[in-house]
């Protein structure tokens, strides 16, 4: 159901083919698609409207460069504008206190406790002596949860089993941190709704009494239209210093990021990309823009893939991909790489909108076995030149690999689709700040 914005705009633009300028008339239709895509990506509808109005103003002045279509041009303007908005105020985590106090705030289940653990782990690696404070005295086993994480990370957790007052606990924790020479104090808090006056008062008091160096608003990246209300309410009370966007390992478009940035104008300092304690990353506006627009979080996928893919291989492959020469030998090589990578499925899942070509794929382990068997049943010539594979050869390959002609057809189809995809990406890239060519992005063994 998620088409990428460029696909949508292409179709919006079809009616207007042949026009080489961005005009009032052709832009209206395209911007409608942009707006729709943004709202489908959970950008708040008012912000989406404001955004497209700004894009319109920017776009109208521009002549379309010969080699790109107006829709490509507009995608680029939209993308740049998004990056611009989300990357506006970049800043690192502030650790200038003694100890530095970091306060978490957010709705129930947004990921505060998990992120507290992740941050403690991150700071510990940076050589900071870090204290975690169990300030959620309400949710069942919330303290036990933080203590478990603390044990796992070998980070001390401060808690008071009998004390039901988070403000007092936090104050005592800071005293404790001072006497014991901790550099950082991270205060986990209970989840709360912005309309819960009592709880909002509590966190306001927590702020007043602990004087934090950082207040991080932790928000689930799957949040919808309500993100603006909640972010605004928390910001009105706390004037928080940064945002943490969690659960980005999912396939949400994450439009809430844009909504929040526009409404509170605070930097997104970290993102959460998994349940494990090392699944924390800094925020990349370019990736987020691509993700919201349905271009896929290709870059972070590639980075993870890179860790295991042989550099030189990757370089060679990239060249081939550029020329759309990707053949079955490469396919086979990739299969081997993939086997090294382990959980391909999770990796693949990070690409929400790479394109229809690999959408709704069903990756089972046998898919690889069959794929490998089929390629191994091809002659070297066939592998290099898949165009050679006619009906007779297909039958032979199917027989040799214990598969069906239909499966062989599918595989060949996939290779061509991949080439096509690469071609498109090359084109996008040529048109400007589009996704960088992913190294090793063509994934074999995919089955619909």
Partner 1 sequence: MGFFDIFKKNKAEASPSVEEKEKASDLAALDQGLEKTKTSFFGKISKALVGRSTVDADFLDDLEEALVAADVGVSTTVKIIKRLEDRAARDKYINTSELNRILREEIIALLDEQNTTQTTNFKYPSDGNPYVIMVVGVNGVGKTTTIGKLAYQIKNRGSSVILGAADTFRAAAVDQLIIWSERVDVPIVSRGMNADPASVAFDTIQSAKAKGMDVAIIDTAGRLHNKVGLMNELTKIKNVMKKVVPDAPHEVLLVLDASTGQNAIEQAKQFIAATDVNAIALTKLDGTAKGGVVISIADQFRIPVKYIGVGEKIEDLRPFDKVDFINSLFKD
Ligand X SMILES: Nc1nc2c(ncn2[C@@H]2O[C@H](COP(=O)(O)OP(=O)(O)OP(=O)(O)O)[C@@H](O)[C@H]2O)c(=O)[nH]1
Residues that bind ligand X (CB under 6 A): 106, 108-114, 136, 139, 142, 190-191, 246-247, 249, 272-275, 279
Minimum CB distance to partner 1, residue 343 (Å): 6
Per-position x/- string for 333-352, each x denoting binding to partner 1 as judged by CB under 8 A, each - no binding: ----------x-xx--x---
- Of the two residues 191 and 435, which places its CB atom closer to ligand X in the complex? 191
Give the footprint of partner 1 on residues 244-283 (CB under 8 A): 247, 249-253, 255-256, 263, 275
The 108-137 contact track toward partner 1, x by CB under 8 A, reads: xxxx-x------------------------
State whether the Cα torsion 72-75-81-82 is positive or negative. Answer: negative
Smallest gap from Cβ 275 to ligand GDP, in A, equals 11
Which does residue 363 bind out of ligand GDP, Mg ion, partner 1, none, counting CB within 5 to 8 angstroms by kind? Answer: partner 1
Contacts of 218 by beta carbon, 8 Å cutoff, 6+ apart: 104, 105, 106, 110, 111, 112, 115, 243, 244, 246
Please say which residue, 131 or 279, places its beta carbon nearer to ligand X. 279
Which of 21, 32, 126, 139 binds ligand GDP (CB under 6 A)? It is: 139
Does 27 help bind partner 1 (rule: CB under 8 A)?
no
Reference 253, options 204, 208, 286, 290; nearest CA is: 290
∠405-418-17 over CA atoms, to 5°?
Answer: 115
User: Dihedral, CA atoms, 221, 222, 225, 226, nearest 10 degrees?
Assistant: -70
- Minimum separation from the CB atom of position 139 to ligand GDP (A): 4
Please state at what angle helix 197-210 crosses helix 227-238, rounded to 10 degrees: 40
Q: Quick check: helix, strand or coil at residue 179?
A: helix
Q: Which of residues 409-428 bind Mg ion (CB under 5 A)?
A: none
Tell me: does residue 91 bind partner 1 (CB under 8 A). no
By the rule CB under 5 A, 100 interacts with Mg ion: no
User: 77 or 142: whose CB is closer to Mg ion?
Assistant: 142
Q: What's the rounded Cα separation, in Å, for the pair 137 and 139?
A: 6
Torsion angles phi and psi, residue 57, rounded to 5: -60, -40
Chain positions 53 to 82 lying near partner 1, rule: CB under 8 A, are 53
Which of 108, 152, 180, 325 touches ligand GDP by CB under 6 A?
Answer: 108
CA distance 363 to 73: 35
Q: Would you say 112 or 118 has its CB closer to Mg ion?
A: 112
Work out the end-to-end distance of the chain between its first and last CA atoms, rounded to an integer number of angstroms.
15
Judge contact between 37 and 8, C-beta under 8 A.
yes
Using CB under 5 A, list all residues that contact Mg ion: 112-113, 136
Using CB under 6 A, list all residues that contact ligand GDP: 108-109, 139, 191, 193
């Amino acid at each position: 159901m998620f088409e990428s914005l460029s696909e949508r705009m292409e179709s919006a633009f079809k009616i207007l083919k042949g026009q080489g300028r961005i005009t009032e008339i052709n832009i209206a239709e395209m911007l409608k698609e942009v707006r729709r895509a943004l709202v489908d990506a959970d950008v708040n509808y008012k912000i989406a409207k404001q955004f497209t109005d700004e894009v319109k103003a920017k776009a109208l002045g521009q002549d379309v460069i010969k080699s790109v279509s107006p829709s490509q041009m507009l995608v680029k303007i939209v993308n740049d504008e998004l990056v611009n908005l989300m990357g506006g105020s970049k800043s690192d985590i502030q650790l200038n206190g003694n100890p530095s106090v970091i306060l978490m705030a957010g709705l129930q289940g947004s990921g505060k406790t998990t992120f507290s653990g992740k941050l403690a782990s991150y700071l510990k690696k940076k050589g900071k002596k870090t204290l975690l404070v169990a300030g959620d005295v309400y949710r069942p086993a919330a303290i036990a949860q933080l203590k478990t994480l603390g044990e796992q990370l070998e980070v001390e957790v401060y808690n008071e089993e009998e004390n039901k007052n988070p403000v007092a606990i936090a104050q005592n924790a800071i005293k404790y941190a001072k006497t014991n020479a901790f550099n950082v104090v991270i205060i986990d808090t209970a989840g709360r709704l912005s309309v819960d006056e009592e709880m909002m008062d509590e966190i306001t008091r927590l702020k007043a009494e602990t004087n934090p160096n950082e207040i991080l608003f932790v928000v689930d990246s799957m949040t919808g239209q309500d993100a603006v209300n909640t972010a605004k309410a928390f910001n009105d009370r706390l004037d928080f210093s940064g945002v943490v966007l969690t659960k980005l390992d999912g396939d949400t478009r994450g439009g809430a990021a844009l909504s929040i940035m526009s409404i509170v104008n605070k930097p997104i300092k970290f993102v959460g990309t998994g349940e494990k304690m090392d699944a924390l990353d800094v925020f990349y506006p370019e990736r987020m823009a691509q993700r919201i627009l349905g271009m896929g979080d290709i870059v972070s996928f590639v980075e993870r893939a890179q860790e295991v893919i042989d550099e030189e291989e990757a370089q060679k492959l990239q060249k081939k991909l550029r020329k759309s020469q990707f053949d079955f030998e490469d396919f086979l090589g990739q299969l081997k790489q993939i086997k090294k990578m382990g959980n391909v499925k999770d990796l693949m899942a990070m690409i929400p909108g790479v394109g229809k070509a690999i959408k709704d794929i069903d990756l089972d382990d046998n898919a690889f076995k069959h794929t490998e068997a089929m390629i191994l049943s091809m002659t070297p010539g066939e592998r290099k030149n898949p165009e050679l594979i006619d009906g007779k050869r297909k039958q032979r390959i199917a027989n040799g690999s214990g598969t069906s002609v239909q499966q062989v057809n599918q595989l060949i189809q996939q290779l061509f689709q991949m080439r096509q995809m690469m071609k498109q990406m090359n084109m996008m890239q040529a048109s400007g700040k589009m996704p960088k060519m992913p190294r090793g992005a063509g994934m074999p063994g995919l089955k619909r």
